[in-house]
Amino acid sequence: MNSFDIHLGAEVGAALRDRRPVVALESTIVSHGLPRPDNLRVAREIEQAVRAAGAVPATIGMVGGRLVVGLDDAELTRLATVDGVSKLSVRDLAVAAAAGADGATTVAATSAVAAAAGIGVFATGGLGGVHRQAATTFDESADLGTLARTPIAVVCAGIKSILDVGATLERLETLGVAVVGYRTRRLPGFYLTDAGFDLDWSVDSPEQVADVLAAQDAHGVHGGGLIVANPLPADEQLDPALHDRTLAEGLARMERDGVTGKAVTPYLLAHFHAATQGASLAVNVRIILRNADLAARIAVAAARRAAA
């Protein structure tokens, strides 16, 4: 064992040993996706939602160069409140570990680390993807390429509406990432219930998702991820007119401010939270809590299936 190993929190380590249900959670949402001081409270609520549905939460992040699966409360507090926490994608993990850095893991990095630790289900808010200016910037989230080769179920509210959703769906097809709607054949768009695209497949229960994961395992043909797209009910979404106005304004400001690369997503989410006076924040929190609940129920169903 060396100091660069993945460190399992005590509760998560015990749960994995006993094959009890575990749900991975990301930390970029906490450090870069949600404003302070709400972010720490929400991070704890997400873990609570996982517990309430019968699974053990494993929030993943890097503390002082140590890659932790199942951050304890002091570590979670540090990533939520300290300045200078890096946003870590998969490619950054080893560099940041060697540098002894504090870092928050994205969907890509969280998926890769969770799968390496033996966790099969992960809850987040909205998936990353192809950015709207990608034709000129080539900006496509590493979430996509990572999910092409990482066996994990990602429960999310579809693809973030700040992105080019149609292009992202096409890339997911090219990369061979499976997408199923949860009780819907329409792709959700994060803040919005319906992003305007049809899906080929839907599932109706956590048990059905567990069946898909078991089939993936048994066939051994497809080594990639499964996106479970869980829409907000229409009466809980962000008002679509407010959404469209806020997004147009955010994209214009981003161009004016010259924001590029990994700063784009945090910039646009922060713009939404400020410009909607917290309305988008409330929606974002609802999304994550609902996904945490569904992911936990999937993990419970998968553990039952494996034990049967």
Which residues are known to be catalytic?
26, 160
Q: Give the total residue count for the chain.
A: 308
Query: To the nearest whole angstrom, how small is the minimum distance from the Cβ of residue 78 to ligand PSU?
Result: 18
Which CB atom, from 159 or from 298, has the smaller least distance to ligand PSU? 159
Cα–Cα distance, 179 to 227 (Å, whole number): 5
Query: To the nearest whole angstrom, how small is the minimum distance from the Cβ of residue 72 to ligand PSU?
Result: 21
Which member of 29, 50, 71, 300 binds ligand PSU (CB under 6 A)?
A: 29
Q: Which stretch, 44-52, 59-67, 140-148, 192-200, contacts ligand PSU (CB under 6 A)?
A: 140-148
In terms of Cα–Cα distance, which of 233, 192, 214, 178 is closest to 298?
214
Query: To the nearest whole angstrom, how small is the minimum distance from the Cβ of residue 141 to ligand PSU?
Result: 3
Which CB atom, from 247 or from 300, has the smaller least distance to ligand PSU? 247
Which CB atom, from 139 or from 164, has the smaller least distance to Mn ion? 139
Cβ-Cβ contacts under 8 Å for 131 (sequence gap 6 or more): 137, 139, 140, 141, 162, 163, 164, 264
187 neighbors 199 (Cβ within 8 angstroms): yes
Cβ-Cβ contacts under 8 Å for 290 (sequence gap 6 or more): 157, 230, 232
Could you tell which of Mn ion, ligand PSU, none binds residue 265, using a CB distance below 5 to 8 A set by kind? ligand PSU
Per-residue x/- marks for ligand PSU, 278-297, CB under 6 A?
------x-------------
Distances (CA, A) of 32 to 83, 148, 263: 11, 24, 9
107 binds ligand PSU (CB under 6 A): yes
106 binds ligand PSU (CB under 6 A): yes
Which CB atom, from 210 or from 246, has the smaller least distance to ligand PSU? 246
288 neighbors 29 (Cβ within 8 angstroms): yes
DSSP of 263-298, one letter per residue? Answer: GHHHHHHHHHHHHTTTHHHHHHHHHHHHHHHHHHHH
- Give the end-to-end CA distance of the chain in Å, rounded to a whole number: 34
Query: To the nearest whole angstrom, how small is the minimum distance from the Cβ of residue 128 to Mn ion?
Result: 7
Cα–Cα distance, 144 to 42 (Å, whole number): 26
Query: To the nearest whole angstrom, how small is the minimum distance from the Cβ of residue 233 to ligand PSU?
Result: 17
Which member of 92, 102, 139, 143 binds Mn ion (CB under 5 A)?
A: 139
Q: Around Cβ 235, how many Cβ atoms within 10 Å?
A: 6
Which member of 7, 171, 243, 262 binds ligand PSU (CB under 6 A)?
A: 262
Size of the site for ligand PSU (CB under 6 A): 19
Cα–Cα distance, 114 to 60 (Å, whole number): 8
Binding residues for ligand PSU, rule: CB under 6 A, are 26, 28-29, 32-33, 106-108, 124-126, 128, 141-143, 262, 265, 269, 284
Binding residues for Mn ion, rule: CB under 5 A, are 139
